[in-house]
């Protein structure tokens, strides 16, 4: 039996360590981009895999399924959906400042349509990605690390020559933190980097003379320009963006609003939500200025058209759209990225500083690699030039050697023992040769045509070019300004090739002020039929059709159009409905199901009492439940802004059977299913909070339950039908609350 050691430790310590390990793995290896190349691991691995597969911008497209499968098998074992999703986003020009993947097929739309399955779509690297993100991978500029199963090598970071973190932005949710970085204009970002390189002490405000602010692929207008310096200083804040709205004049003095650019936050399902919100404003009579909505967007761009009535207040309507819909929205900035293996929130200057440091590191490694190659080339060239001067001797050595080893030994160390020479002079000259190992190999491998005069001249010119390159590379490596000039030249070339005009306007705009039209207060009557169809009619129309209205409808409530009606249900809930939300029309209109305009669900609960909110504001409400519990609740407790509140507390398997307005002059009669009637004064009903159960109103017999509650006033004869006869409530024997009551036979 092997020796084993039991380590005793706190369970909380193990949980803490495990959670921290998991959190850091998600933060560093999945959710957050690296500040150096601005890419998350899944993006970096996908691009590298495409590079390895040779899917270049000038080569045919390849199936995305092939790319995803290869990436998952070699570098990213986290499921195909996450890899394909990353690939799709890198190909969507409405999400990225610069697309990194050239997609062929259905890669989704700005309106939220998803991409086709990976077996149908194809992709290849974009020209920008190949030339700016991956071009120097063969020059030992970045470290390569083992993949997850140590069968392949992958780059720790891509040698990206532009600040991709700023240009393409980033979004990601890690554990306990999230990143949200807007996209920016490539030309402006490059200008800001150059300004920093020329003056490391430059301030954020000075950098923003070059980088004006975010440049979203969807355009739009940033309206809080004055707040941007602070946001870019701290790396956190809120950017307010609006869609671009234009007014088009039509014949007959009519106008229409055309939305040609949307806030970046509306990309996806936000467009459909915006259209629904506008439709809701019309339905709820918040505006009468819009007569039609149409979404005419296409591949050419966004075009949402709102047709207006002739005398519409255009400015007020625009402000209403900014206030009531997502046409004006907020982009939360949190410039969080992985720097030095740790998550860090950085301002604009810090991001550029990290980028410039990375560029100097790349340039140093690149030019050290190139210098080493040129020095190797110089060594060989010098050997060949020297060999051309003594070519007859070298040929004599080769002809007199018995093996390559002997010839090489003579060329490198002057060893002549095993070689036949034509003369002693040749032997003495051969003994003086001291070629290097590389030079000797190159001489032995040299072809005879290299001895042609023109070839020798070409060799000498090539040697001169090599010497120039060595001098240049040494200058770059030993001189900060020379290296900076090289980096700036590369940035300028990138800007010249790939810059585009700014799409987002940055300005200071006035706060959208929307004056809501005051609704003229009038008396209406809300009618609800036995099927739950609801409508509101003018009080005069109700009076003209009073008999029919009372006969055909289960509930008739008189109220003001500015008020609310309250629905009390057997589940102990109270649902509120604004009268303005109820369709207003003619007496014979069908109306709308009450379920559609409130939280009331007819399939799950029953209406017990419906009234205008003013009806019980200064009164008491009597609640009675199936298990015989009763209480009075002050009406002020039901003044709430929520659409649904809990109106009373219920015991298990209990439900409300009655809700009524009660006064002190009332007498209460409780009737059970088995025909027991109990009468007592209203004063005996205890007043409780709505969150209380109440008190017992009647002692129930076995298998009996409270069925009805009646109220009447002394001196007024009140009859109710019970089975096949009428029961006069006034003639019932008065009793006390919590009695058993009197049995009434039908």
What ranges make up the beta strands (E) of 459-614? Answer: 505-506, 523-528, 533-538, 555-560, 564-569, 573-578, 592-593, 607-612
Helix (H, G, I), strand (E, B) or coil at 114: coil
Query: In 10 A of CB 642, how many CB atoms?
Result: 9
Contact 731, 666 (CB under 8 A): no
Helices (H), 503-606: 539-544, 546-552
Query: Rounded to whole angstroms, how far apart are CA atoms 263 and 265?
Result: 5
The answer to whether residues 114 and 108 touch, using CB atoms and an 8 Å cutoff, is: yes
Listed residue (324, 314, 241, 236) closest to 277, CA to CA: 324
Residues β-bridged to residue 721: 726
Domains of the chain (ranges; CATH) run 39-159 (3.90.199.10), 244-326 (3.30.1360.40), 354-497 (1.10.268.10), 523-743 (2.120.10.90)
d(C-alpha 398, C-alpha 448), whole Å? 13
- Judged on CB neighbours under 10 Å (0-12, 13-18, 19+), 604 is exposed
Please tell me the number of Cα atoms within 13 Å of 257 on its side-chain side: 25
The pLDDT assigned to 64 comes to 97
pLDDT at residue 14, rounded to an integer: 81
d(Cα 276, Cα 293) in Å, to the nearest integer?
Answer: 10
Task: Please tell me the predicted confidence (pLDDT) of residue 280.
Answer: 85
Task: Kindly list the distances between the CA atom of residue 723 and the CA atoms of 674, 711, 720, 745, 746, in Å, as whole numbers in the listed order.
Answer: 11, 19, 10, 9, 5
pLDDT of residue 515: 67
Cα gap 656→573, rounded to integer Å:
9
Q: At what angle do helices 41-53 and 64-74 cross, to 10 degrees?
A: 110
DSSP 637: G
User: What DSSP state is assigned to residue 17?
Assistant: H
What pLDDT is recorded for position 217? Answer: 95
- Can you give the pTM of this predicted structure? 0.74
Instruction: Name the stretches of the chain with pLDDT < 70.
Output: 1-4, 26, 450-451, 453-454, 514-518, 746
Residue 580 buriedness (CB in 10 A; 0-12 / 13-18 / 19+) = middle
pLDDT of res. 66: 96
What is the per-residue pLDDT across 288-337, written as a single tens digit (0 to 9) for each?
889 899 999 888 889 999 999 888 888 889 999 999 899 999 999 999 99
Which residues are annotated as catalytic? 120
């Amino acid at each position: 039996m092997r020796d084993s050691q039991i380590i005793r430790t706190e369970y909380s310590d193990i949980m803490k360590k495990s959670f921290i390990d998991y959190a850091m793995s998600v933060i560093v290896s999945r959710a957050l981009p690296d500040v150096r190349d601005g890419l998350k691991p899944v993006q970096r691995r996908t691009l590298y895999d495409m590079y390895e597969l040779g899917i270049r911008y000038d080569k045919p497209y390849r199936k995305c399924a092939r790319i995803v499968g290869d990436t998952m098998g070699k570098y990213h074992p986290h499921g195909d959906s996450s890899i394909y999703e990353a690939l799709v986003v890198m190909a969507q020009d409405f999400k990225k400042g610069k697309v990194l993947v050239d997609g062929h097929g259905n890669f989704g739309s700005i309106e939220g349509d998803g991409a086709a399955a990976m077996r149908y779509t194809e992709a290849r690297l974009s020209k920008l990605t190949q030339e700016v993100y991956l071009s120097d991978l063969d020059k030992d500029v970045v470290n390569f690390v083992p993949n997850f199963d140590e069968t392949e090598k992958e780059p720790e970071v891509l040698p990206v020559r532009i600040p991709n973190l700023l240009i393409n932005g980033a979004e990601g949710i890690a554990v306990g933190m999230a990143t949200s970085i807007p996209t920016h204009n490539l030309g402006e970002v490059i200008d800001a980097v150059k300004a920093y390189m020329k003056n490391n002490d430059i301030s954020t405000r000075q950098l923003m003379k070059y980088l004006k602010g975010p440049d979203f692929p969807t355009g739009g207008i940033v309206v809080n320009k004055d707040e941007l310096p602070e946001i870019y200083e701290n790396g956190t804040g809120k950017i307010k963006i609006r869609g671009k709205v234009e007014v088009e004049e039509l014949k007959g003095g009519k106008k229409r609003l055309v939305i040609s650019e949307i806030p970046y936050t509306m990309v996806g399902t936000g467009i459909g939500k915006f259209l629904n919100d506008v439709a809701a404003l019309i339905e709820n009579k918040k505006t009468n200025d819009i007569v039609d909505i149409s979404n005419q967007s296409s591949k050419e761009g966004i075009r949402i058209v709102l047709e207006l009535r002739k005398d519409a207040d255009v400015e007020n309507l625009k402000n209403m759209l900014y206030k009531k819909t997502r046409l004006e929205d907020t982009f939360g900035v949190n410039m969080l990225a992985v720097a030095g293996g740790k998550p860090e929130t950085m301002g604009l200057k810090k991001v550029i500083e990290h980028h410039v440091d990375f560029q100097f590191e790349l340039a140093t490694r690149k030019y050290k690699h190139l210098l080493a190659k040129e020095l190797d080339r110089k060594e060989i060239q010098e050997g060949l030039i020297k060999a051309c001067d003594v070519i007859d001797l070298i040929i004599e050595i080769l002809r007199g050697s018995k093996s390559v080893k002997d010839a090489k030994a003579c060329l490198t160390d002057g060893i002549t023992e095993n070689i036949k020479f034509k003369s002693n002079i040749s032997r003495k000259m051969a003994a003086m040769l001291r070629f290097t190992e590389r030079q000797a190999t190159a001489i032995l491998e040299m072809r005879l045509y290299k001895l042609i005069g023109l070839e020798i001249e070409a060799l000498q010119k090539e040697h001169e070019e090599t010497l120039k390159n060595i001098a240049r590379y040494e200058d770059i490596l030993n001189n900060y300004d020379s290296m900076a000039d090289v980096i700036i030249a590369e940035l300028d070339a990138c800007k010249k090739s790939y810059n585009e005009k700014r799409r987002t306007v940055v300005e200071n705009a006035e706060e959208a002020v929307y004056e809501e039209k005051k609704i003229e207060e009038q008396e209406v009557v809300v009618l609800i039929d036995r099927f739950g169809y609801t409508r509101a009619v003018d009080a005069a129309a109700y009076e003209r059709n009073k008999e029919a209205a009372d006969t055909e409808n289960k509930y008739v409530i008189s109220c003001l159009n500015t008020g609310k009606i309250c629905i009390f249900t057997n589940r102990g809930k109270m649902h509120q409905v604004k009268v303005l939300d109820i369709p207003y029309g003619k007496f014979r209109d069908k109306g709308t199901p009450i379920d559609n305009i409130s939280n009331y669900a007819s399939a799950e609960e029953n209406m017990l009492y419906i009234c205008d909110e003013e009806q019980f504001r200064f009164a008491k409400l009597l609640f009675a439940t199936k298990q015989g519990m009763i209480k009075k609740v002050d009406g002020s407790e039901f003044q709430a802004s929520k659409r649904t509140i809990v109106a009373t507390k219920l015991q298990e398997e209990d439900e409300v059977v009655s809700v009524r307005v009660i006064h002190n002059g009332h007498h209460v009669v409780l009737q059970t299913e088995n025909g027991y009637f109990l009468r007592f004064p209203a004063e005996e009903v205890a007043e409780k909070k709505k969150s209380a159960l109440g008190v017992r109103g009647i002692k129930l017999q076995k298998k009996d339950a409270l069925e009805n509650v009646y109220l009447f006033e002394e001196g007024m004869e009140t009859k109710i039908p019970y089975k096949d006869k009428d029961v006069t409530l006034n003639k019932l024997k008065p009793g006390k609350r919590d009695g058993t009551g009197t049995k009434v036979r039908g």
